[in-house]
Amino acid sequence: MAETIFDKIINREIPADVVYEDDISLAFKDINPQAPVHLLIIPKQQIATINDIQDDQKELLGHLFTVARDLAKEMGFDETGYRVVMNCGEQAGQSVFHIHLHLLAGKPLGWPPYTDKMKQA
């Protein structure tokens, strides 16, 4: 499987602002934040997209969500609200093919991602 920029971050070959790490996951600040808080939570294991998740990796996926939950509490936006997103494939805007949860918070966030203007295009 092709290595991505996130493997280089896991292996400390390129720098990142890491906020959490354990044996199976890593969380760091997005280089191009789309909200006042924009973190990426990734498994250390290389999985390209949601389509590539195996049945025996369900626990790992659940783990990413518990990391998101704990970071939200630690950083103090668990009660005000936050968004967790995982893009899958080209039309969803996935650009790094190593699965990652986006954790966004810090201001009211827009919704929906598919607007009336886009429907007319």
Binding residue (CB under 6 A) for ligand 5GP from 43, 68, 87, 101? 87
Binding residue (CB under 6 A) for ligand 5GP from 23, 32, 108, 114? 32
Q: Are 20 and 64 in contact (CB under 8 A)?
A: no
Catalytic residue IDs: 100
Place of tokens 């970071």: 71
**Residue 74, number of CB atoms within 10 A of its CB:** 11
Query: CA-to-CA distance for 103 and 69, rounded, in angstroms?
Result: 10
Binding residue (CB under 6 A) for ligand 5GP from 62, 93, 110, 113? 93
The contact set with ligand 5GP (CB under 6 A) reads 5, 16, 28-32, 40, 87, 93-96
